Structure formats: C-alpha cells, structure tokens
Amino acid sequence: MTWTKNVLRVNLTTGTCTAEPLKMEWAQQYLGQRGLATKYLVAETDPKVDPLSPENKMIFATGPLTGTPTATGGRYSVITKGPLTGTIACSNSGGYFGAELKFAGWDMVIFEGRSPKPVYLLIEDDQAKLLDAAHLWGKTCWETEETIKKHHQDPQIRVASIGRTGENGVLFAGIVNDLHRAAGRSGVGAVMGSKNLKAVAVRGTKTDAYRPADPDAFAKAVAAGKVILAANGVTGQGLPTYGTQVLVNVINESGAFPTRNGRDIQFEGARAISGEAMHEKRPTDGKANLLTNSACFGCTIGCGRISKMDPNHFSIKDKPQYRGASAGVEYEAAWALGAATGVADLETLTYANFLCNEDGMDPITLGSTIGAAMELYELGILTKEETGLEMPFGSAEAVVKLAEWTATGEGFGKVIALGSKRLCAKYGRPELSMSVKGQEFPAYDGRGLQGMALEYATSNRGACHVRGYMVSPEVLGIPVKMDPEATEGKAPMLKAFQDLTAVVDSAGICLFTTFAWSATDIQSQIQAACVGDWSLEKLLLMGERIWNLEREYNNAAGFTAKDDTLPPRMLTEPAKTGPHKGKVAELGKMLPEYYQVRGWTPEGVPTPETLVRLGL
C-alpha cells in the first residue's frame, strides 16, 4: 500500500500533537505529497487567508513512493499559501528528511496556528512533541541541525529548519533539510517562521514503513527503472558528471540564458560559471571548485555538487567557517547569482550559494532581485547613499554583500528581502521585475523558448521551471524535438507535461527521472506499489485534477487571467543576440489555445463540464 495511513496534526497555538487517519478516499484521488496535501489545504483554509497569519496552514507531505527502493524515492513537499506570491505554494525537496518522516510512520504533518514562543517539533516514530527552541532562535540552518543532533545525541536524526531569513520574514525564505537540500521557493520558510516553528527533527526506525501491494511486481518495476536511468545519456552520464550545471553552456549557446535582469539573452561569462569550469583547476591554488557529486535518498543519478572554495577568495578571507566542503552551485543558482547579475566569478557564486543554504534563502529570487536592484542602480533610481554600496552589473562585491545583508537582516538587505516585485514597485519601476505572479522566473528566457514562456505565465505557483519543463522538447528533444521558436503545438504539450509533473510530485520521486522514464515506467511502479487501480489513464486524469484544484484555489484567492502574463520586457523587447535574435515571447498566440485544451473559459476559469469530469 506504501501509505502509512497516518497524519500528524500539530496545533502550535495549543501545543498539541494529535494523530489521525489519512483520508484514503482522498489518497485514491490525489495519491500523495503535492496532490493530497493540496486537497487538505484547500479543504481546510480560506484562499484569501493572509499567508503569514496563524490561520494559514503548512503541510509537510510525503508520497507513497517516498522511502521505498524506487530510484529517487526520497522526496517530500511543503504545501501552504505562499507569502511571495499569494498563490498556492508547493515546494519540493530531496535529501533524506522525507524518507525519515515516512520511516517514522507518517504520511504528512499538518501545522496550524502559531506558537506563543519559538519551538521545534521532535518526532520519534509514533511519539511527537513540541520542544522549546529559544536557544535555536537566531541560529542558521547549519547551526540548528548540529545543535539538535548533539542535544539528542543521535547523529541519524534528520532535521528541516529555517535560518534567520525565515525568522525575519524574508519573503523568499526556504526550509533547509540535510544541510543543503531545500524546499526553496515561494517563501515557505517565512510561513514556518511566522508560526514560531524553528525546525522539525525526525527519527524513524520502522522497517515496514513501505509495504508494496505487489512486492514481486514492484521489485521488477524498480529494477527496470534503474536500468533505464543508468543507460540514459542525461541521467546516467550528464547529470552525474556535471550536475544541472551541464546546462549553462547549452542554454547560453541556444540563446535563452537571461542576462543582466533580462536585458540580454546570452552571457559572455557563461563558460566561467559552468559545470565544466567547476571541474577545472584554479590558477590560485591548483585545485578544482568541485570535489565530488552527491545523491539524495535512493538516488542513482547523483546530480548534487560538493564544492570547496578558493581559501584566498576575497569573500572568505576572514571567514574560515566557509573553507570546508559544502553543496556547490547548481544551474538555477549559478544563473541567478551570476548571469542575472552579470557576475562571472564562480567562487563568488559558490559563496553566495553557501549563504543561501546556511540561512535558508531561495537563490533564484535572491539573485534575480539583486539583478533588478542593479538595473535600478544603473538607471540612477537607486544610489550608493541609499544602498550603502556601489552595485553596478558585474559587481561580485555587491552580490556578496547583499547576500550577507539579506541573510542577517541588515541594511539594504531588508529591501532585497521583499523580492523583485515589491522592490521594483517601491521605486516606481514595476516592469523591471522579471517575475510572474510575484515569483521570479528561472534560468530560461521565453523569447528564445516559447514553450517556457507559456509555462511561466500559467504556472500555479508563479514563474516556475519544474511545473512542466518545456526545455525538454525545445532544447533536449525529449520526448520529441520541438522548434523553440514555434508557438504551434506548445499548449497541448505543456498541458501534458504539467499533468505528468503533478503525478511525479505526488508520487514522491524526482522530476529528473522523466529525462529517461516514460509515463509508463512511472505508472508500472505506482501500480505495483499502491492498492487499487492506477492505470496510466487514471494517473494522468489525477494530474489534471491536481492542476485544476490548484487553479481553482488561486482563482478564489483573487487571481485572474490577467495574471497569466509575462514582464513587458519579454513581450516587447526583442532578443539582441543569438539564434533567436529579434524574437519576443509570443504569449498571445499560445494562451487562448492553452485555455481551450485545459477546458477553461477565455477568462481562464475551469468550465463546469471540466470540473464535473475531474470530480471537482
């Protein structure tokens, strides 16, 4: 069955922890993790709730494949209403925390209310209690995890925590587990901080945490899946060797690498911050930035990076604590902290990424917001007197200082903490925020990849690359090659990708498996693991149901079709260089067809027929 059938409800206001049965009728409709937790959130919260109020709820959720031998079966998600956007937020993380929560016997933990004082939740199998966290408040995620493990004298405890950014209400604060894996986007860490919840510590020892419905069929399907991953060029070679950083030169050369807050579409410094550059020996000390790769629970891909900085780099000359090994930059972080700001110094990006992991910040929003601030500075709207430093595009010193200030809540970091939408609005230039629904878009330019433009505009959690990933067909040719400049066929392909992604997220596995696995490969594992009928048709219908449920929540929160748009720059300023020179994002050609294939009205509202068909 692979569900534990147990939900832990934590009322932070009263300090109580109560077990209740999982609603299995909902599990049959939404599977787990993203889908099932969204159903709980929609049922229990007002879509118009203030994200940082006690009335908002926050759910840590696993999927039925979390904690199983399925490749990459270590995922969990945090679902809430996000403060950065005001939309529904679902932030997915890897590492080992999700599997440990499953081994403790829980499918999900629902947090409600607000504690009168800082606390952390300790889960030891069936036992759960809230403990005082006064001594942890003000500590980083790294310090918090170390302190909790030492206090309980158990190095195998898994910890998910917020840093100072979550405590201070940074609107893009994330939740960090296992030191450098994160539920990073949409401000879920700020919600956790608003509840005075510093951390969740879990120790699970139940060896029967997963029980596949058909053990023999499950073992065969899992083994077949691992063979496919190993044989694939992306999951078996590219990602293990170069990590997601393998994409830097690929996307830059394809003419879709947003640079200097989207002013440009290619970065002349891309090679210096690429996955290849991480392997090369530095002239300063003869050592490479990259030490090795790393993997999450049950992962056979190992896309994670472990790096060690140049000890003589200006950012850490007086900070010996950053001279050890830790998680290195991945593609989105390298782009946001690098190309978006015009900085081509890999060591600077590594240091800023260390800070994001240490204090729980989303590097995509951090880098994008710094890039927007740099443009405001170059336009003369921001001044050195106001910011406390010179911050033109390309300033490594400015990236370092602004990352530090945002982490600690000092100086102009308090303004960066608002995210680019509020920053640009504050200074009268809202059009300079490269965001959708308040969330900064990632490392792909919609002028060069039309499908990604549509994906950003329609994503339910604001601009996002992991709610469909149209880069696959437009650049990588997976599952078929599509012309990146074409608008025809992009709407139905995106819908199919979005629905399948909802299934992957709800199952508890990593989206990267879809570079190699077909929907059938995923279905065979779910069918063997879970009780009931999990045909491909049912799963894809479920993915569509989840997508529409999220859309309905956002519509009820006040979002409309007018929010399914892109920054004016993407729509009106043609690409200056590269294969797509002269192109803009042609969203207007794709959006009406997207609404049609979704079964929505021209106003972006699911029709009654669609809702009935999906059981909503």
Instruction: With a cut of 90, say whether residue 523 has pLDDT above it.
Output: yes
Residue 7 buriedness (CB in 10 A; 0-12 / 13-18 / 19+): buried
| Mean pLDDT, range 430-453, rounded to an integer | 98
pLDDT at residue 196, rounded to an integer: 98
pLDDT at residue 80, rounded to an integer: 98
Write out pLDDT tens, residues 192-237. Answer: 999 999 999 999 999 776 789 999 999 999 999 999 999 999 999 9
Write out pLDDT tens, residues 362-378. Answer: 999 999 999 999 999 99
Write out pLDDT tens, residues 553-567. Answer: 999 999 999 999 999
Instruction: With a cut of 90, say whether residue 545 has pLDDT above it.
Output: yes
pLDDT at residue 208, rounded to an integer: 76
pTM: 0.98
Instruction: With a cut of 80, say whether residue 265 has pLDDT above it.
Output: yes
Q: Are 434 and 368 in contact (CB under 8 A)?
A: yes
What is the C-alpha to C-alpha distance for residues 317 and 220, in angstroms, rounded to an integer? Answer: 53
pLDDT at residue 210, rounded to an integer: 75
Confidence of residue 314 (pLDDT cuts 50, 70, 90): very high
Can you give the C-alpha Rg of the chain in angstroms?
Answer: 22
Write out pLDDT tens, residues 38-68. Answer: 999 999 999 999 999 999 999 999 999 999 9
Domains along the chain with CATH numbers: 6-203 (3.60.9.10), 244-253+259-433 (1.10.569.10), 445-613 (1.10.599.10)
| Mean pLDDT, range 580-592, rounded to an integer | 98
Write out pLDDT tens, residues 69-124. Answer: 999 999 999 999 999 999 999 999 999 999 999 999 999 999 999 999 999 999 99
Write out pLDDT tens, residues 454-478. Answer: 999 999 999 999 999 999 999 999 9
- Residues above pLDDT 90, as percent of the chain: 99
292, 350, 584, 591, 610 from 306: Cα distances, Å: 5, 10, 37, 41, 46
Q: If you write DSSP's letter for every residue of 530-557 in order, what string do you get? A: SSS---HHHHHHHHHHHHHHHHHHHHHH
pLDDT at residue 207, rounded to an integer: 74
User: Which residues, including other chains, have CB under 8 Å from residue 477's CB and lie 6 or more apart?
Assistant: none
User: Which residues, including other chains, have CB under 8 Å from residue 320's CB and lie 6 or more apart?
Assistant: none
Write out pLDDT tens, residues 276-302. Answer: 999 999 999 999 999 999 999 999 999
Closest to 129 in 3D by CA, of 202, 71, 195: 202
Q: Give the chain's mean pLDDT.
A: 97
pLDDT at residue 489, rounded to an integer: 97
Confidence of residue 423 (pLDDT cuts 50, 70, 90): very high
Helix locations, 573-607, DSSP H: 587-598
| Mean pLDDT, range 564-590, rounded to an integer | 98
Q: Which of 157-171, 174-188, 197-211 has the lowest mean pLDDT?
A: 197-211
